[in-house]
């Protein structure tokens, strides 16, 4: 039997835009207007209205932690005007989690922006840092007595890559130069928000909070050990996986390392050009297990990454790990095999705070719409009925016993 630490956090994650529905004032909402109907978020899972029902289910499934995000465009739909009604809503959401004894882990930015910010150039505008801090300050004052874990920004590199390098997410830009500006502003926003959050807790004489980002990690593995593949692996590890983490550690602005892990990228580079080194992947290994979006299932990669993260001597929190599939048996196998690997990493000295499955509910998967099914709980989008999947029940037993 494999056992996890006693105080381990077990649960799942969501993000506001993907579940709440009707986030009219967000840049993503504006962008969606040009997509076909099925690709628009619409009412999403109606979680804004049904959050109590959803959290009751999480409780029933023995979760003791839940990661959620605040939708900035709701609380500050017009620049500089914070809506009491929306602030109250999030306060009630957090209070409800507390009532259920579920630890809230709160993300302040999960891919979407207020439309007013996007109209001013979004994260390319250096004032974005000031705007973000103003919003963060408001939220921290509101929630500091109820929240210990804060994630400032979800996956800064994924956000920049999709929106400013490959240009498939809003604002659909393809420019390395502009991407660089965005990542700089996001990094600065995190570092300053980190200090701000700690200062507010200190002034209020509260116990220090735990602040981090959620960094997406990919297991980059060269397909064959030629020079091109090895160099590409090195570059991707450096710029995608570890560069930002190291920079934030140097700036003393991580209390733990928050990671999201989904897949492996087998690297087979055709040419020594910059673009090939950054983007080429292997197309020969077709027989590997994949999720419904074609991402390879590779639990051992999580173990390898955890072992590599050990050198930073910070605790690690797995803030997302999940699979979209129509095959719920495969979902359970996915969870089980990842937990096995986490447990081995713990036995070998990695300090892990918790594991959050992505996601509690089937939800709106960004540009892919509603087809990918990541949820422990299925959502019927015709009537918003929730159905607990078998994999969720099996995971619930692990959450309860703390062992596999
Ligand atoms: C993101 C989620 C997304 C999930 C699955 C993560 O990178 O944080 O918003 O739904 O991946 O694609």
Please tell me if the CB atom of residue 256 comes closer than 6 angstroms to any atom of ligand 1.
no
Q: How far apart are alpha carbons 204 and 206 in whole angstroms?
A: 5
- Map out the domains of the chain with their CATH numbers: 9-216+313-401 (3.20.20.80)
With DSSP H G I counted as helix, E B as strand and the rest as coil, what are the percentages for the chain, rounded to 5?
45, 20, 35
292: left (phi over 0), alpha (psi -120 to 50) or beta: alpha
Is pLDDT above 70 for 287? no
- 351 backbone dihedrals φ, ψ, rounded to 5°: -100, 110
- What value does the mean pLDDT take over residues 214-220? 99
Quick: pLDDT tens for 10-46.
999 999 999 999 999 999 999 999 999 999 999 999 9
Counting ligand 1 atoms within 8 A of each CB, the residue from 295, 366, 379 with the most, and so the one to mutate, is 366
- What value does the mean pLDDT take over residues 363-391? 98
Enter the tokens of residue 80: 């500089």
Local structure of 283: helix, strand or coil: coil
pTM > 0.85: yes
- Closest C-alpha to ligand 1, atom 3: 365
Kind and range of the H or E run holding 334 = helix 328-347
Please tell me if the CB atom of residue 296 comes closer than 6 angstroms to any atom of ligand 1.
no
Is pLDDT above 70 for 120? yes
Please tell me if the CB atom of residue 155 comes closer than 6 angstroms to any atom of ligand 1.
yes
Is pLDDT above 90 for 284? no
CA-nearest of 46, 34, 41, 13 to 368 is: 41
Percent of the chain surpassing pLDDT 70:
100
Atom of ligand 1 nearest to the CA of 365: 10
User: What pLDDT is stored for residue 232 in this prediction?
Assistant: 97
Please tell me if the CB atom of residue 154 comes closer than 6 angstroms to any atom of ligand 1.
yes
Enter the tokens of residue 131: 């705007």
Q: How far apart are alpha carbons 266 and 289 in whole angstroms?
A: 13
Q: How far apart are alpha carbons 345 and 352 in whole angstroms?
A: 9
- What does DSSP say about strands 257-267 and 316-320: parallel, antiparallel, or unpaired? parallel
Q: How far apart are alpha carbons 356 and 189 in whole angstroms?
A: 25
What residues contact residue 226 under an 8 Å CB cut-off, 6+ apart? none
Asked if 123 contacts 115 with a C-beta cutoff of 8 angstroms, the reply is: no
What residues contact residue 147 under an 8 Å CB cut-off, 6+ apart? 94, 104, 106, 209
Quick: pLDDT tens for 322-372.
999 999 999 999 999 999 999 999 999 999 999 999 999 999 999 999 999
Question: Would you give the DSSP letter of residue 163?
Answer: I
Atom of ligand 1 nearest to the CA of 214: 8
What residues contact residue 125 under an 8 Å CB cut-off, 6+ apart? 117, 185
């Amino acid at each position: 039997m494999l056992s996890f630490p006693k105080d381990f956090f077990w649960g799942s994650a969501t993000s506001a835009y993907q579940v709440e529905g009707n986030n009219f004032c967000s840049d993503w909402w504006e962008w969606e207007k040009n997509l076909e109907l099925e690709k628009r978020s619409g009412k999403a899972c109606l979680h804004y209205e049904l959050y109590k029902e959803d959290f009751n289910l999480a409780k029933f499934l023995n979760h003791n932690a839940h990661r959620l995000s605040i939708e900035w465009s709701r609380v500050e739909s017009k620049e500089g005007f914070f809506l009491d009604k929306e602030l109250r809503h999030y306060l009630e959401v957090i209070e409800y989690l507390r009532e259920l004894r579920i630890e809230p882990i709160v993300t302040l930015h999960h891919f979407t922006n207020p439309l007013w910010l996007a109209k001013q150039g979004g994260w390319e505008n250096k004032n974005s840092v000031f705007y973000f801090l103003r919003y963060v300050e408001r939220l921290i004052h509101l929630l500091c007595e109820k929240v210990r874990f804060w994630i400032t920004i979800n996956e800064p590199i994924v956000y920049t890559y999709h929106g400013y390098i490959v240009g498939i997410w809003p604002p659909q830009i393809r420019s390395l130069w502009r991407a660089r500006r965005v990542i700089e502003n996001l990094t600065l926003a995190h570092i300053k928000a980190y200090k701000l959050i700690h200062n507010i807790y200190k002034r209020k004489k509260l116990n220090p909070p735990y602040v981090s980002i959620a960094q997406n990690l990919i297991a980059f593995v060269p397909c064959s050990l030629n020079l091109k593949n090895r160099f590409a692996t090195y570059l991707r590890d450096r710029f995608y996986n570890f560069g930002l983490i190291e920079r934030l550690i140097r700036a003393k602005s991580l209390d733990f390392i928050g990671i999201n892990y989904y897949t492996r990228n087998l690297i087979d580079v055709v040419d020594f050009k910059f673009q090939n080194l950054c983007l080429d992947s292997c197309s020969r290994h077709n027989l590997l297990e994949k999720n419904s979006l074609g991402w390879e299932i590779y639990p051992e990669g999580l173990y390898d990454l955890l072992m590599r993260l050990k050198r930073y001597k910070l605790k690690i929190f797995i803030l997302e790990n999940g699979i979209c599939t129509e095959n719920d048996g495969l979902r359970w196998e996915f969870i089980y095999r990842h937990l096995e690997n986490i447990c081995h990493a713990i036995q070998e000295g990695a300090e892990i705070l918790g594991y959050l499955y992505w996601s509690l509910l089937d939800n709106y998967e960004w540009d892919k719409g509603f087809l990918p099914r990541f949820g422990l709980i299925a959502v019927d989008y015709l009537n918003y009925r929730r159905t607990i999947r078998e994999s969720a029940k099996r995971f619930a037993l692990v959450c309860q016993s703390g062992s596999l």
